[in-house]
């Protein structure tokens, strides 16, 4: 099967978020399963590769779409907190160039797998301008939503920049409350739609999570499914992690304590092996449930626990957390910055990881913390609901602590439950071992994508 994977960011070339991790890992996992995969990406300023084709892994061609004026800039989508005002032009160009290039290279994919609004016009072009084109006659499209909140919205006046006919500016195509909505185009014109967890695939069909597109998603529900993201265990593994104080695995879990001690020392927390150490590594955004954390902090400060936060994001949260920081609680360490090394030390050194998200398409934090034996406390939503199962002390089932209602009170109750189990050392050890054994590698998810590709090609 020949696949073109199309994305606006990809590790190790360009990254602003989780899409880059998926785009760097999934094509390689597909290739390992026998697919012939090529990928397409804009050639941003930071990509210092000579020529138009780079390599992902050993053998995957990366078509770099060049345009001095559009892509030779410091940002991917914008700078200094604002979006570039020609993003519609930039990504319409990207999508058209990708299709042109396939012809030039005479690479006719069975599947073009598009991701988020930046490549959403590809299915639209294929089903409209190119629907009589013999080259793409057999090609099917898959469109993956990584976060429905980002839709690629533009003013109506800019619509001609897509090079599409005005007849497509209507409610059953790209029009959305009198604006251009690229994501909506992907949802309506792709053969199949996926998103990054089964629960999120259900949630986005509800008005509460649908970001205005729940109706469109319900209309396409027969062709909509959720496939959980994998985690790259070559990058995230406590047994091989060079950034942490001490490598460890399920077989020598006692060594995890070295990481706890190292982290406590580095963050000026009392070095105490027996106090439960809670961690959170996050964007400071509404999505992540930061309100719940902030509302619970005063109460947590009085408990026999330690708490470390690492995060950056919205100003309002920086301000609120600065105020808490000024209170100098001895059992808190609040770090308002991006720091990949400290993040790894937190995953390795903490006992419990907090992820009380308001919504969560998939989430990586809980997958990483499970692998590091750091037990997640999560809200039951999206990918968190699909990967963390509430611990039952009677049966020993489960791998974390789950609460449902979006409230500080319910989150705190889950925290208390985790502390109660933490005190029972043997139970906790078993829980850690169990958590570390869950397999969320890319291989299983790649298999599911291949099954869907076959379905799209009618080869079930």
Binding residues for ligand ADP, rule: CB under 6 A, are 17-18, 281-283, 310-312, 338-340, 343, 363-365
Give me the least distance between CB of 47 and ligand ADP, in Å please.
21
Q: Which is nearer to ligand ADP, 43 or 371 (CB)?
A: 371
Contacting residues for 185 by C-beta, under 8 A, at least 6 apart = 120, 121, 123, 124, 168, 173, 174
Q: Which is nearer to ligand ADP, 364 or 377 (CB)?
A: 364
CA distance 160 to 183: 17
Measured from the CB atom, is 53 or 444 closer to ligand ADP? Answer: 444
CB of 371 to ligand ADP, least distance (A): 12
Integer CA distances (angstroms), 77 to 15, 294, 381, in order:
11, 30, 28
- What is the CB neighbour count within 10 angstroms for residue 199? 22
What is the nearest approach in angstroms of ligand ADP to the Cβ of residue 281?
Answer: 4
Smallest separation (angstroms) from ligand ADP to the CB of 313: 8
Instruction: Give the residue from 186, 181, 174, 172 showing the smallest Cα distance to 154.
Output: 181
The residue with its CB nearest to ligand ADP is: 18
For residues 109 and 361, which CB has a smaller minimum distance to ligand ADP in the complex?
361
CA dist., res. 412 & res. 4, Å (int): 46
CB closer to ligand ADP, 123 vs 365: 365
**Cα distance between residue 448 and residue 144, in whole Å:** 13
In the complex, minimum distance from the CB of residue 322 to ligand ADP, in angstroms, rounded to a whole number: 15
Question: Minimum CB separation from ligand ADP for residue 16, in Å?
Answer: 9
The structure tokens listed for 81 are 């907190």
| Residue given tokens 């062709």 in the structure block | 223
Q: What are the φ/ψ torsions at residue 99 (nearest 5 degrees)?
A: -70, -40
CB of 452 to ligand ADP, least distance (A): 22
342 — phi, psi (to 5°)?
-60, -35
* Cα radius of gyration (the chain): 23
CA distance 370 to 350: 11
Q: Which is nearer to ligand ADP, 181 or 374 (CB)?
A: 374
Tokens found for residue 312: 């950056």
Whichever of 64 and 308 has its CB closer to ligand ADP, that residue is 308
């Amino acid at each position: 099967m020949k696949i073109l994977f199309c994305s606006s960011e990809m590790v190790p070339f360009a990254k602003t978020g989780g899409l880059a991790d998926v785009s760097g890992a999934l094509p390689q996992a597909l290739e390992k399963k026998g697919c012939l995969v090529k990928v397409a990406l804009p050639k941003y300023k930071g990509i210092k590769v000579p020529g138009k084709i780079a390599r992902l892994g050993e053998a995957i061609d990366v078509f770099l779409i060049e345009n001095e004026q559009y892509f030779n800039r410091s940002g991917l989508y914008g700078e200094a907190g604002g979006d570039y005002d020609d993003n519609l032009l930039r990504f319409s160009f990207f999508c058209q160039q990708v299709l042109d290039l396939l012809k030039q290279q005479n690479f006719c994919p069975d599947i073009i797998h598009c991701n988020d609004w930046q490549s959403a016009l590809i299915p639209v072009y294929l089903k409209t301008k190119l629907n009589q084109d013999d080259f793409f006659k057999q090609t099917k499209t898959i469109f993956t939503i990584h976060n429905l909140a980002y839709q690629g919205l533009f003013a109506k006046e800019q619509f001609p920049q897509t090079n599409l006919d005005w007849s497509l500016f209507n409610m059953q195509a790209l029009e959305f409350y009198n604006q251009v909505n690229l994501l909506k185009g992907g949802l309506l014109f792709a053969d199949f739609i996926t998103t990054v967890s089964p629960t999120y695939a259900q949630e986005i069909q509800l008005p509460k999570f649908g970001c205005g597109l729940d109706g469109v998603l319900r209309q396409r529900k027969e062709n909509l499914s959720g496939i959980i993201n994998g985690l790259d265990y070559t990058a995230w593994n406590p047994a091989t992690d060079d950034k942490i104080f001490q490598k460890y695995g399920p077989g020598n879990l006692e060594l995890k304590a070295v990481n706890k001690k190292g982290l406590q020392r580095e963050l000026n927390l009392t070095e105490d092996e027996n106090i439960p150490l809670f961690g959170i590594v996050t964007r400071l955004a509404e999505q992540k449930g930061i309100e719940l954390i902030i509302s619970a902090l005063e109460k947590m400060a009085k408990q026999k626990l330690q708490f470390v936060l690492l995060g950056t994001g919205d100003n309002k949260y920086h301000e609120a957390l600065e105020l808490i920081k000024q209170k100098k609680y001895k059992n808190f360490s609040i770090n308002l910055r991006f720091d990949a090394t400290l993040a790894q030390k937190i995953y390795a050194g903490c006992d419990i990881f907090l992820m009380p998200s308001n919504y969560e398409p998939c989430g990586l934090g809980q997958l990483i913390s499970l692998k590091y034996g750091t037990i997640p406390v999560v809200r039951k939503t999206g990918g968190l609901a699909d990967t963390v199962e509430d611990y039952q002390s009677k049966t020993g089932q489960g791998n974390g602590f789950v609460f449902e209602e979006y409230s500080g009170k319910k989150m705190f109750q889950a925290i208390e439950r985790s502390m109660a189990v933490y005190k029972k050392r043997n139970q906790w050890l078993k829980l850690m071992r169990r958590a570390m054994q869950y397999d969320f590698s890319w291989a299983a998810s790649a298999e599911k994508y291949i099954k869907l590709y076959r379905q799209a090609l009618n080869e079930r």
